[in-house]
Amino acid sequence: MDMREKRTKRNIANAFIQLRSKKPISKITIKELCELAEISKATFYLHYRDIYDLSDKLQHQIVRDVFRFIENPKDMVYNLPKANEQIIEGYHANKNIVYILFSGEFAKLPEYVEAEIKKLIFEQFPQLEHDAEANIRITYQIMGSLYAFYKYENQFGQETVLKTVNHIADMLKI
């Protein structure tokens, strides 16, 4: 990708985030996005099918950014408390953008997180990809811990929720 294309995509993303922070995705028009990004509609359509395609790609990218905090993918299998801490650290480093991009679409977040975690784990442990127990355990851990963290972090604090999630994982031997 050349520098112009990178700059264009960055301008589109920044304009989208600016608009998305103020209104739901259904209220954002391609016209206003293009005006803010200072591009033509044709340029937008070179890169994205529609506003939802753009949103989806940005959501996936932010989840990948969160997972860059995982130092060793094997921790997802052998050291869940450490992996949980690293995921939460990545989440907090990107918290504002996560809230903007997933506003009104929170159900997508755990699904995207699960997909990225499985991708990391299965690259290291390909034999687990078709293992029912491994898949169910990963899904259970991600869906439960992410939902609990999101729901209770403001009420009880990040440290307490993380400690509790890790304690439950240890009790269940996940």
Q: Are 35 and 23 in contact (CB under 8 A)?
A: no
CB atoms within 10 A of CB 166: 18
Nearest to 55 by CA among 104, 122, 114, 92: 104
Residues 50-90 have pLDDT tens digits of 999 999 999 999 998 888 888 887 777 778 778 878 888 88
Query: pTM here?
Result: 0.83
Token digits of residue 66: 């969160």
110-119 CB burial, b ≥16 within 10 A, e <16: bebbbebbbe
DSSP state at residue 92 = H
- Element counts in the chain: helices (H) and strands (E): 10, 0
Token digits of residue 65: 């950014």
Residues 9-31 have pLDDT tens digits of 999 999 999 999 999 999 999 99
Taking the domain 3-48, which CATH number applies? 1.10.10
Boundaries of every domain in the chain? 3-48, 60-172
Token digits of residue 55: 């949103």
What SS3 state is found at 1? coil
